Structure 1
Amino acid sequence: MARTASLSGFPEWLPEERLVELHVLDTLRRTFELHGFSSIETRAVETVGQLLRKGEIDKEVYGLSRLQDDDGTPGSDTGKTDPHALALHFDLTVPFARYVVENAGYLAFPFRRYQIQKVWRGERPQEGRAREFTQADIDVVGDGDLPFRYDVEIALVIAEALNALPIPDFLLRINNRKLAEGFYTGIGLTDTAGVLRSIDKLEKIGPAKVAELLRSELGATEDQAQAALKLAGIRTPDTSFVEQVRALGVSNDLLEEGLNELEQVIAAAVQRAPGRVVADLSIARGLDYYTGTVVETILVGHEQLGSICSGGRYDALASKGNRKFPGVGLSIGVTRLVSRILSQNLASASRSVPTAVLVALNSDDSWGAAQDVAAALRSRGISTEVAAKAEKFGKQIKFADRRGIPFVWFTDDDGKHQVKDIRTGEQHDADPADWTPAEEDLRVHVTTN
């Protein structure tokens, strides 16, 4: 992790680091499929109009154009004004919404999907923020309506998935946009989206500057600004937030609906994922398409990294005529997580290559027989390489050691087989038809340090 990248913001892992990333991806994939989520992949490119129709992040979107037009002239920069111009997707939710609309006739609703892909954002690179990175999303989308119970289920699935990763303790911080918007309306602030965007900056700029934003940009009075900050200051590990909100003395139907929904999520999480979830009424989420439950997740002790998993309920992102496709989902920042795991040495792979055995050569003429041995081992799931040259055995052993391969296989001229554990020096007779290394050596294992 000390390497200097030739192009910042586009991470490239060493083989042993990639094994850690693959472990994270495989763990997430396995957990999602255990809960019945189907895998899909959408194209990397969308139209600018599609990408920017909900939430303004145009400064971060990478436009896509050819270096030359059909007539050979330099490509034109029309992406900023032409909604039909192409751009790389900045998240997976907007492409997924488009995918649902286009394939609605072929999907069974509620549709449960997971999606693990690269996304691109034109951000200033730093740890936890890359320009090209991998996200792992899960969503449930309904046709016409989507029971609120899926909001609860999504949070529990993510808690289970994160709990299986080699990471420190984490905390899902959950709020509800209906609760917040109903409260702001109840105190007389009509631009609720604007208030949410200001509250979303609370951890970055602090309460005093947020209050100033509310007064200067949204026309809030001092009392209104302080009431909004009091709401954002409520944080509980249980459902006691309900009493604290009601104690603020604001009455609004949307507020009550949001309180009820958030209470259900927190009550279920306290029971099934104790210690992993808090009600945090400062969570707003900047994108405009969220309409109910909103979630951000932090690593305890690594709060400066920012959210490693976020998302929520969206009721109006996908539609086709009068047909609505409400959904709820969460997105894990895989690259952000892996970057922290590697930079802080939180976990490591048991070896740097998948290979468990190197088949040594007695002579160049023994290469064919060595391939037969390798094929027998591979047929039983043992990752095996064959030496390329019949060098002295000491050199072949050093090659295996340099590669991180634990075992070297020898076959003498009489066809007798032996395998050597080069870590301990132990060597014994073996048969390629039935020899198997110990489970901890059969495959690469990623363990917490």
Structure 2
Amino acid sequence: MSPIQPKTPPGVMELLPRDQVAFQRVLDTIRRGYERFGFLPVETPVFELVDVLLTKSGGETEKQVYFVQSTGALQQGKKPELALRFDLTVPLARYVAEHEHELAFPFRRYQMQRVYRGERNQKGRFREFYQCDIDVIGKDSLPLAFDAEIPAVIHHVFTELDVGAFTIRINNRKILQGLLEGMGLGDENARMLALREIDKLPKIGRDQVLANLSAPEIGMADETASRLLDLATPGGDQDHLLGRLRDLARDGGTPLLAEGVEELASVVEGMRALGVPDRNFAIDLTITRGLDYYTGTVYETFLNDYPGIGSVCSGGRYENLASHYTKSRLPGVGISIGVTRLFYQLREAGLIKPATSRTVLVTQMDEQLRTDYYRLAAELRAAGIDTEIHLEPAKIARQLKYADRAGIRFVLLMGSDEAARGTVTVKDLAEGGQQEMPRADLAAHLRARLG
């Protein structure tokens, strides 16, 4: 019988160890950033009850769901009761509704777990991927100040990730809805369709969006649609744009437009006070987030030098997170980083390289000194340094080759001469040099070099 061919399932990102270390450091950076702002960790099961997960029947989401079925239930022809989560928002809604009386509100949580979608098999699209979410959930109400704090978290995280210049594009959906109302688009369904078309502007271009806005489903006059896109197209001074919007709201605008403009102005003021510089954010009325789920502030984050990657972080304000599960009103605001796709794209662009391990390797130069090597490793571990011992006796060239392939930068050499002198030689495989030093100074030296 021939062996089964080992093959990774399509639509997953499976990494070699040095790439996995780099990916883990991205996750660690995001986690530290979330915790720096006081968010607490939450984890939910990888699967949810079907009735809970699929609160809306039909639609594109349900077509992408993976159902979970035990062998026994499958044999009995039962319908699946469980399904893998396709995002972290629905599980959060269930979690908050279920534990509502045990949580402190506003409830600030972060969640970094895998989600599953039946995506078509294509490059850069994943069926299993990590999402890194933060949300603040209020009870009955949630002050607008939280809408300003979220982009401050984004700014902190992406600065720490060190992936180059980025821009947080921000909008308030009430502004476009108010403009559409003022332009005579009274039907709510037509307004929702119009928002979705405007959200496509960067992808399909102005001419196609104009054509779609003029189609019978929306029915906007060509001149009106053109005026709307002129206003929505990003660019220019942000305070000047806010001034123009305030003028529109004052001169015959709808109450919804005025409300959206003032909310946006308040969020911008808060962002600046929280340390988000103007170079890292821009008001962009084309950012509407295609989901009808969002009701006010919305965000999309882009890497300036890599526009082809698309949005790397998105989110916004919603008025009632758990309406399907509780009668309580639970408004919130949050964002999500699709970190698997982000990592994949950054690695493809050369911005992320295979990582060098922070582990040091104790080589085995003399089998008679094995006990000394064990003690040396124990000393370093006690000093907080990740340490591996090459437990198999081998030529030193082979041990160095192993370290290089494993991404280990610092290799420790101690033969009988060094042991007699009470010293250890530190070899730096990255820079090529080596240095002999007293064993008593080794831990401090390595801590300084490892950072």
CA distance in 1, matches of 2:108, 2:29: 18
Structure 2 residue corresponding to 1:90, chosen from 71, 86, 90: 86
Asked if 1:376 is matched to 2:379, the reply is yes
One-letter amino acid matched to 2:331: P
**Who is 1:99 aligned against?**
95
1:341 to 341, 346, 369: 346
Q: Is the 8 A contact 2:175 2:260 kept in 1?
A: yes
Residue 309 (structure 1) shift: 0.4
Secondary structure of 1:216's counterpart equals coil
Q: Using a 3 Å threshold, how does the CA distance of structure 1 residues 59 and 101 change in structure 2: closer, same or farther?
A: closer
Change in Cα spacing, 1:53 to 1:427, as seen in structure 2 (3 Å) is: same
- Structure 2 CA distance for partners of 1:71 and 1:314, relative to 1, 3 Å: closer
Moved more, 297-306 or 416-425: 416-425
Q: Secondary structure at the match of 2:289?
A: coil
In structure 2, C-alpha distance between the alignment counterparts of 1:404 and 1:183, rounded to whole Å: 56
More divergent stretch after superposition (245-254 vs 320-329): 245-254
Distance 1:209 1:435 in 2: 63
Q: Distance in 2 between matches of 1:219 and 1:29?
A: 46
Give distance in 1, aligned partners of 2:418 and 2:220. 90
**2:111·2:134 contact (CA, 8 Å) conserved in 1?**
yes
Q: How far does residue 163 in structure 1 lie from its aligned partner after superposition?
A: 1.1
Counterpart in the other structure of 1:409: 413
The Cα of 1:96 is off from its aligned counterpart by: 0.9
1:398 is the counterpart of 2:401: yes
- Structure 2 match to 1:229: 229
**2:182 alignment counterpart:** 186
Q: Does 1:267 align with 2:269?
A: yes
1:56 to 1:360, Cα distance in 2 relative to 1, 3 A:
same
Q: Is the 8 A contact 1:358 1:400 kept in 2?
A: no
- How big is the shift at 1:67? 6.3
Matched, 1:358 2:362: yes
The residue type paired with residue 311 of structure 1 is G
Cα deviations by residue, 1:194-224 (Å, 9 ceiling, x for unpaired): 2222222222222222232232322333344
> How far off is 1:237 after superposition?
4.7
Q: CA 1:135 to 1:176, structure 2 compared with 1: closer, same or farther past 3 Å?
A: same
Partner of 1:82: none
Aligned-partner Cα distance in 2 for 1:398–1:205? 51
Aligned to 2:302: 298
8 A contact 2:171–2:285 mirrored in 1: yes
Distance 1:56 1:243 in 2: 40
Counterpart Cα distance in 2 of 1:135 and 1:367: 45
Distance 1:228 1:153 in 2: 29
Name the CA distance, whole Å, in 2 between partners of 1:238 and 1:299.
19
Moved more, 215-224 or 34-43: 215-224
How far is 1:158 from its partner? Answer: 1.2
Distance 1:266 1:100, change over 3 A: same
Change (3 A) 1:140 1:241: same
Q: State the alpha-carbon separation in 1 of the partners of residues 108 and 161 from structure 2.
A: 22
Select 2:284's aligned residue among 277, 280, 283: 280
Deviates more, 1:226-235 or 1:162-171: 226-235
What is the correspondence of 1:141-180 to structure 2 with a 5 Å cutoff? 141-180=137-176
Does residue 420 of the first structure (1) align with residue 426 of the second (2)? Answer: yes
**1:446 maps to which residue?**
none
The answer on whether the counterparts of 1:65 and 1:86 sit within 8 Å (CA) in structure 2 is yes
**Any unmatched runs of 5+ in structure 2?**
1-6
CA gap of 1:256–1:162, structure 2 versus 1, over 3 A, is same
Report the secondary structure of 1:258's partner residue: helix
Offset of 1:43 from its aligned partner?
1.6
Aligned-CA RMSD value = 2.8
Aligned residue in 2 for 1:24: 26
Matches within 5 A, 1:112-131: 112-126=108-122, 128-131=124-127
Which TM-score applies when normalising by structure 2? 0.86
**Paired residue type of 1:357:** L
How far did 1:335 drift? 1.6
Give the fraction of aligned pairs with identical amino acids, expressed as a percent.
39
Q: Tell me the residue number matched to 1:41.
A: 43
Matched residue pairs, number? 431
SS of equivalent residue, structure 1 residue 240? helix
Question: 230-239 or 199-208: which moved more?
Answer: 230-239
Task: Sort the Cα spacing of 1:414 and 1:346 in 2 relative to 1 into closer, same or farther, 3 A.
Answer: closer
Structure 1: gaps (5+ residues): 80-84, 444-449
TM-score, normalised on structure 1? 0.87
Structure 1 equivalent of residue 14 of structure 2: 12
Structure 1 residue 34: Cα displacement: 1.5
Deviation of the 1:164 alpha carbon: 1.1
Separation in 2 of the partners of 1:220 and 1:87? 41
1:118/1:149 CA distance change after superposition, 3 Å: same
Is 2:334 the counterpart of 1:329?
yes
Q: Is the 8 A contact 2:233 2:286 kept in 1?
A: yes
* Pairing partner for 1:431 from 433, 436, 439: 439
SS in 2 for 1:119: strand
Partner of 2:4: none
